[in-house]
Structures are given as structure tokens and as C-alpha cells.
Amino acid sequence: MGALAARRLVFAFLVATAAVSSGCKSGNRTKLRDAIVPASEADKAYGIVERTRAYLPYEYSPDGCYARATYMQMELFAASVPSRVVFIRTTYDDALQAWADNAPLLEPAGWVYHVAPVIKVDGQEMVLDPGLEPESKGGALHLDEWLGKMKALKFIEAPSAELNRKVSDSVGRFVLSRAGNPDAGPIDSANVRGQVIHSTSEMPSFGAESMMWNFKTMDKYLMEAAAMNGISVDEMASRRALLAARTLELSDLLEGRNKTSGPGGDLEGIKLTMDMLRSIQTQNETEFAEEQSQRGTGEQTRP
């Protein structure tokens, strides 16, 4: 594919997704599943996720958990490690018709949900959340410990009716943290049981459009992290280059294993190229400069 054709595809993608929130909002109803990982593979899984710190913007906490979780799952898949995710949301106040108690300690006022990958080791479900747990290899936490941290941040489980995924994705990727009635008891690991994923072959596909959207989100949030002094400008540039390179590598690997097809938008089935990714980064730079200028003049913009 030539550079001009790549730019045209990227332009179509950017126009189609311009009005879509990149934040922690999601939406397909999925089945609950456990991703079984042998104990001998657990440290490998933690190391795989730990290495994503080299290119994912964990320093930017207001947003991006959806894209980070997807990248972690792609990396685990690339190493033949099956995974699922756990999903929770903030408390919704029906009387006020507004989200309430949604100012997590991680920083932002405005989180409405959080999501992270899960693997099951020796019967214990381990959540991999480097943004929440920076000191642990791969951000690994026992599920009960992770849920405890979420409760401290005013979160509850998400009933299936609350899921309204704005970014098209394959069924089965995102998993509710509650099976059934949202009023069926306290938050605990008993509420996250379900069908079992024994291998990566049972995992759904990663579509091209979803990969492009997640790449755009992570690239932008690396710039946000630098603007917030979370990382240096030089580190931002290095990590943006690594993000693009690794995205292309993952795309090629997933395509080779027939995991880049699936329901979605007009770009499903399109092979990603470096020209396409660089076009997205160029667009991000333009948008980011405009947002920074607006912030400098006091206009309100969404991070």
C-alpha cells in the first residue's frame, strides 16, 4: 500500500472516530470466562506486561485503561498466554441522573469505569494493572486485593445493562465483574466466575480499526504524560516510536495467527502499515497543539 493510500485510509478512520470517546467507556455484553495460566507461566506473563511500561502511558491516569488493557492482552496473546479482563464502574445516582463518587485516588475527577486484564494461576485470579500497582511486576494483584482497591476508589461492579461500548470490538474481550443481578451481594471474587479460556485460540480477534483507535489513544496520552511532566520530552519521543514499532509487530503477528479479523468498521481486514501509524501520530500532534493552545487561552477541552 502506497503512502497516499495509507493516508486516505487513516483519514477515513479519523473522521469516523472523531466523535468517539477514547476513555474508559465500553459496551459489548460478553460471557464471563477464566483465563487459565499454568503456575510455570505466571512469571512469564507478569514479565510480558511489565515490559509494556516501555511504551504505554501508565503515567497518564485520567483515561486510557481500555486501550492499555487491549495492548496488554495483545502482548499476552503474542506469547501464547490467554487472558480475559475484569470491568467495574463508578456508582450511578439514579435520583440525580449523574455519575457520583467518581474521583479515584489515582488522580482524575471523571472516571466512570476501569478495566484490566486477568489471568488465573493455581486457582487464583490475578489482575494485571501496572497503572494501579506500579511496584509489582506486571502490576500483578490478587483479584480480591484489586477489588479492595477499587472499593476504596468508590467503584462497584458493572451490571450488563451499563455496558455501552463506543469502540467496535469482538464479543468476548471484555468481561463483567458481576454475573447477573448487580444487587446480588458484595464485591468479591465469587462474582467473577464463568466459562474457561484454556488457550489463546479461544480468545476473540483483534480488529484493525480497534488497533488503530487504541494506537491513536496511547500515542496521544504519551504526549499528555509529557505535558503533565510525567515523562520527559525525549522519553516521550522514544516511547512514541517504540509504540508504533510494537503496534506494527503485534499487528503482523496477530494477522499471522488469524486474529485480526472480526466484526467492526470499514477498516476491518486492512493490514496496518508504518505509514498509517505515522499519519495517525502526525494528526495527533496537530490536535494536541491545538488543544494546548486552547488550554493556554482558558478554553475548556477534554484531556
- Residue 8's pLDDT is what? 56
Q: Are 176 and 158 in contact (CB under 8 A)?
A: yes
The answer to whether position 272 is within a domain reads yes
Q: Are 165 and 28 in contact (CB under 8 A)?
A: yes
The answer to whether position 303 is within a domain reads no
Q: Is 143 helix (H, G, I), strand (E, B) or coil?
A: helix
Beta strands, E only, 68-227: 84-90, 92-93, 98-99, 113-121, 124-128, 140-142, 155-157, 195-197
The answer to whether position 41 is within a domain reads yes
Q: What digits encode the pLDDT tens for the residues 161-195?
A: 333 332 223 333 333 333 333 443 444 443 343 34
The answer to whether position 98 is within a domain reads yes
The parent domain of residue 112 ranges over: 3-293
Would you call 234 exposed, middle or buried from its count of C-beta atoms within 10 A (0-12, 13-18, 19+)? exposed
Count of helix runs (H) and strand runs (E) in the chain: 7, 9
Kindly tell me if the per-residue pLDDT of 116 is higher than 80. yes
Domain count, the chain: 1
pLDDT bucket at 72, cuts 50 / 70 / 90: very high
Closest by Cα among 37, 36, 12, 72 to 206: 72
The answer to whether position 301 is within a domain reads no
Strands 195-197 and 33-35 turn out to be parallel
Q: What digits encode the pLDDT tens for the residues 3-54?
A: 555 555 555 555 445 444 434 533 323 333 456 667 777 889 999 999 999 9
The answer to whether position 128 is within a domain reads yes
The answer to whether position 299 is within a domain reads no
User: pTM for the full model?
Assistant: 0.74
Specify the residue for cell string 517504540: 242
- Residue 145's pLDDT is what? 85
The mean pLDDT of 124-137, rounded to a whole number, is: 88
The answer to whether position 300 is within a domain reads no
DSSP structure class, residue 89: E
Strand partners, 157: 88
Crossing angle between the packed helical segments 65-78 and 208-227, to the nearest 10 degrees = 120
